[in-house]
Structure 1
Amino acid sequence: MERIVKSGDGWRLGWNPQALEFKGLVGGDDWSIELTEGELDDFCRLLDQLSQTISQMADELMDGERIACEAESDLLWMQVQGFPESYTVEFILNQGRRGEGKWSVEAVSSLVPAAKMLKIF
């Protein structure tokens, strides 16, 4: 199995199954942080949950109403904020070395589908 790095406008995701500790990578244009496999799995799972939640709430919001949704595991906290069709994503690592990151509305539209497919070969 080889190392995978996917990137788009304002985001990067990586998976290296051969790495000893930090098998995952998340980043933006000018920052990145390596993640353990558990952190990467939680990141992808929570991002998918939050993107589904904000999309499902579209019918319940008034025109122009912004929303913030958050989710957390033992390993990280994540939040989406904005409108159902355009929102930012941010995360904070809860354990170990700590770290945080945020993606713009422009980056999120391709980050979310890429996170769903990162470890599928």
Structure 2
Amino acid sequence: MIKKEGPGWRIIFDSSRDNFSTLIGGETWAIELDKSEWKVLVEVVMELCNQYKLVKEQLMGDEDITLELERRPWLAILNGDQYGWNLRLILSASGLFNRGAEVYWPRHVTNNVVNAMRSMWDSDYL
């Protein structure tokens, strides 16, 4: 089992679990993901973060930005400014389990969550 967590977030990967091997969570919520949902989620979040890094230096003063990326089954929405961002994720009801969810990480935890995802990606925990 691989467990990464901090105040307001957690990611747990358990290879012994067949259907739902990854759990993601926030301050008051958690959801288990299957392998495909987790893989696509990491890809979407990494791509959004890369887009944000490209445009954040161009933001002026109080200017905000919203970036959206949809890749089934996920819709990811990044809201932020040049100093930080929050992340809302919507899992569409689809596939064998036909379930959906909406989750949110606030700006004070998003960098930690993304670093944990990137570390797990680099370590092949997908």
TM-score calculated relative to the size of structure 1: 0.90
Q: Following the alignment from structure 1 to structure 2, what is the Cα–Cα distance between the partners of residues 69 and 84? A: 13
8 Å Cα contact 2:48/2:68 also seen in 1: yes
The answer for the alignment partner of 1:45 in structure 2 is: 43
The residue type equivalent to 2:49 in the other structure is S
The answer for the alignment partner of 2:108 in structure 1 is: 106
Q: Following the alignment from structure 2 to structure 1, what is the Cα–Cα distance between the partners of residues 82 and 35? A: 29
Aligned residues: 119
8 Å Cα contact 1:79/1:91 also seen in 2: yes
Of 82, 86, 96, the match for 2:84: 86
Q: Following the alignment from structure 1 to structure 2, what is the Cα–Cα distance between the partners of residues 50 and 84? A: 15
Q: Which runs of 4+ in 1 moved over 6 A?
A: none
Q: How far does the alpha carbon of each residue in 1:31-56 deviate from its partner, in whole angstroms, 9 at most, with x for none?
A: 10000111111111111111111111
Q: How far does the alpha carbon of each residue in 1:4-59 deviate from its partner, in whole angstroms, 9 at most, with x for none?
A: 12101211111112211111111112210000111111111111111111111023
Relative contact order, higher structure (CA 8 A, sep 6+): 1
The answer for the alignment partner of 1:56 in structure 2 is: 54
8 Å Cα contact 2:11/2:25 also seen in 1: yes
8 Å Cα contact 1:55/1:85 also seen in 2: no
The answer for the alignment partner of 2:25 in structure 1 is: 27
Name structure 2 gaps, 5 residues minimum. none
Name structure 1 gaps, 5 residues minimum. none
Return the offset for 1:85. 3.1
Q: Give the secondary-structure state (helix, strand or coil) at the position aligned to 1:69.
A: strand
Q: Give the secondary-structure state (helix, strand or coil) at the position aligned to 1:63.
A: coil
Q: Which has the higher strand share?
A: 2
Aligned-residue identity in percent: 25
Q: Following the alignment from structure 1 to structure 2, what is the Cα–Cα distance between the partners of residues 36 and 118? A: 15
Q: Following the alignment from structure 2 to structure 1, what is the Cα–Cα distance between the partners of residues 82 and 5? A: 23
Aligned-CA RMSD value:
1.4
Return the offset for 1:61. 2.1
